[in-house]
Structure 1
Amino acid sequence: MGWGAGRVLGVSSGLNLDDFVDLIERPDGGIRRDAEERRERLVPPPGALGRLDELGEWLAAAQQQVPVKPVERPRVVLFAGDHGVAELNVSARPAGSAHHLVRAVIDGESSVAVLARRFGVPVRVVDMALDCDPDELPGEVTRHRVRRGSGRLDIEDALTAEEAEQAFRTGMAVADEEADAGTDLVVLGDLSVGGTTAAATLTAALCGTDASVVTGRGGAGIDDLAWMRKCAAIRDGLRRARPVLGDQLQLLATVGGADLTAITGFLLQSAVRRTPVILDGVVSAACALVAQRVAFRAPDWWLAGQASGEPAQEKALDRIALTPLLDHGVTVGEGAGALLALPLVQAAAALAGELPERAQAEEPEDA
């Protein structure tokens, strides 16, 4: 599909999320059957490559091509923001300190930066709501910022309606930019302080569960007292979220924040543009759950890179029927766990595309 939803809707038109239902198509089922049939003819016996077979067939359907092409232009995209709820000491990091995470990525000193450098994958950081002076970071990072820190979701809306639409459209625009640049797979993550609290609130609201069921200890780890404060904040956020469950953009404005709203827009527009995405942790999983509520076919374009151990991530992925590729106990966030899954996906593409088919049996000679 050559035209994205952002272009269909137009920059001055109202944002109607229902349009995504028609704009998003599933990966080509006919191509996937062709890939499955080709797999039956390859030298390794069926089932010998395990989940790599499934990944190769999924990629073929996404690319609309058999044999599958190599994944040669992947990119890490990280949406960054601070959340007002962090003021309640629900995170191991100080409130308003997400810009330090961003700086570490820019300087090549974070986990995802080291891995990306090793794998040869470029990293893009998009500031949506960092609580710092924009001059502290490169303009290419801060140019999309919606506001300085999202509101405290337990007592106030995280965003105004206008800010939510702006953040959502930014996510769509970034997805279009990546598709237009030839990115053939996105590793999606976040750089946030307080983001796991917002993600757990969204997940609990959409899954109809209590706060205690989804409250985890975050990527940096928190003690028992902080866990109780986080649980209380999610409980209060849930009271505010439940009345707006029927409107996904309003839900994101109420308890999501600018970075999570942008990620949701990015996921939906990536599906429109037929760009596969590897999800990282609880934040991207929660946004995927919101996006699934908008367009039920969208999850067919995503992979879950890793199990982070966060209960809200497990709940969200179960609801959208995605099984993580890896479970290595990586909780650092910032897209690192999803990036670790990238070589597995690339290996699946290489095997599906390059393994030879078995020689055809010789026809018996006529008697």
Structure 2
Amino acid sequence: MPLLSLETFRSRIETLPEIDKDAASAAARHDATLTKPAGSLGKLEELAVWAAGWQGQHPPSFSRPQVIIFAGNHGVCAQGVSAFPQEVTHQMVANFEQGGAAINQLATAFGARFSVVPMDLDTPTEDFTLVPAMTEEACAQALETGWNAVDDTTDTLVVGEMGIGNTTSAAALAAALFGGTGADWAGPGTGLSPEGINVKAGAIDRALALHGDKLADPLAALQHVGGRELAAMTGAILAARHKQIPVILDGFVCCAAAAVLARLQDTALDHCVAGHMSAEPGHVRLLQLLKKEPLLTLRMRLGEGSGAGLALGILKGAIATHNGMASFADAGVTEGAL
């Protein structure tokens, strides 16, 4: 079996399926017949049309949502960038597996299948202030892990992450993709002090200086300053596009992973909506650059897919109203009276 390479994924990004315009148009026409004033359900109406178009069917469905959490550890933690030890990643994976985390409750609340994928937790990525975080093969393998984790029957996807140190990786990746310094992108993560944020920013700046022009290619940037769980999320989001599955994006780390695709192809995230805007400062800036309006803004900063998991309820409501409401004709209501 040939070794995986980043070129495998580059070719997949170059051939992206487009929205099913017929399904989206059918949803828009149906919405116009429902017993409500036009536009009165606001974003819910847009979400129903979006879901139908990217699922390639009308009516849209919300019967097999899937939540996948990818977990990884980071060598850059040796630079003192996190308030917690890497053992916490192991502990939280066990918590996910036992159903005790916030995302477990949200997945259950909205009927989503849940899985967690630990990725070589006992072998963190390399310290990217000294060497590339991953070899090309390791990065490609992580992308493939994410690609293969998406079920063909899924109708809505949420990907999340767990990894002590991964907000440093996300900030370094965002800086590589969009420019700026460590100070522009570093935030408190799980609770760093201002001094800790400065340490994080310094580590990012050293990585940017070390890897230099190699970061100009988005996939190479993912390899050099990313992490296994970030690469897996990138792969899963790309797989969803090929499988006609709409995606709800989570917070800063998830959006940094998704941004790799956006920098390779302007329309690569058209099948995605932003589930929420987190309290991590870099996420606000990243959503603006990705031109994604968040569905929720609740000062959440937990990660693990929790913001997107909560937004599943918004999409479920959008599809329920679209599919279940009566038309003016069926209800005997005079059209235009509302």
2:114 maps to which residue?
123
1:243-322 matched pairs, under 5 angstroms? 243-322=213-292
Q: Is 1:93 equivalent to 2:84 in the alignment?
A: yes
Change (3 A) 1:13 1:88: closer
| Matching residue within 168, 185, 210 for 1:240 | 210
* 2:80–2:199 CA contact under 8 A, matched in 1: yes
| Matching residue within 165, 173, 176 for 2:140 | 165
- The one-letter code of the counterpart of 1:65 is Q
Aligned length: 331
The CA distance in 1 between the partners of 2:304 and 2:63, in whole Å, is 22
1:130 Cα offset (Å): 1.2
The CA distance in 1 between the partners of 2:44 and 2:291, in whole Å, is 18
The CA distance in 1 between the partners of 2:14 and 2:54, in whole Å, is 17
* 1:89–1:95 CA contact under 8 A, matched in 2: no
| Matching residue within 36, 42, 45 for 2:34 | 42
Gapped runs of 5+ residues in structure 2?
334-338
* 2:142–2:228 CA contact under 8 A, matched in 1: yes
1:314 Cα offset (Å): 2.1
Cα deviation 1:72-100 (Å, max 9, x = unaligned): 11121011001111222222211343111
Change (3 A) 1:240 1:110: same
Deviates more, 1:75-84 or 1:15-24: 15-24
1:204 maps to which residue?
175
The CA distance in 1 between the partners of 2:56 and 2:69, in whole Å, is 27
Change (3 A) 1:12 1:157: closer
1:191 maps to which residue?
162
1:107 maps to which residue?
98
* 2:71–2:93 CA contact under 8 A, matched in 1: yes
Report sequence identity in percent: 34
The CA distance in 1 between the partners of 2:111 and 2:29, in whole Å, is 33
Q: Is 1:82 equivalent to 2:66 in the alignment?
A: no
- SS of the counterpart of 1:291? helix
* 1:96–1:149 CA contact under 8 A, matched in 2: no
Cα deviation 1:275-311 (Å, max 9, x = unaligned): 1111111111001110112333321111211111222
The CA distance in 1 between the partners of 2:118 and 2:307, in whole Å, is 21
The CA distance in 2 between the partners of 1:268 and 1:162, in whole Å, is 18
* 2:13–2:238 CA contact under 8 A, matched in 1: no
TM-score by length of 1: 0.85
- SS of the counterpart of 1:245? helix
TM-score by length of 2: 0.92
Q: CA RMSD in A?
A: 2.1
The CA distance in 1 between the partners of 2:58 and 2:145, in whole Å, is 34
Q: Is 1:338 equivalent to 2:308 in the alignment?
A: yes
- The one-letter code of the counterpart of 1:48 is S
Change (3 A) 1:107 1:171: same
The CA distance in 1 between the partners of 2:109 and 2:60, in whole Å, is 24
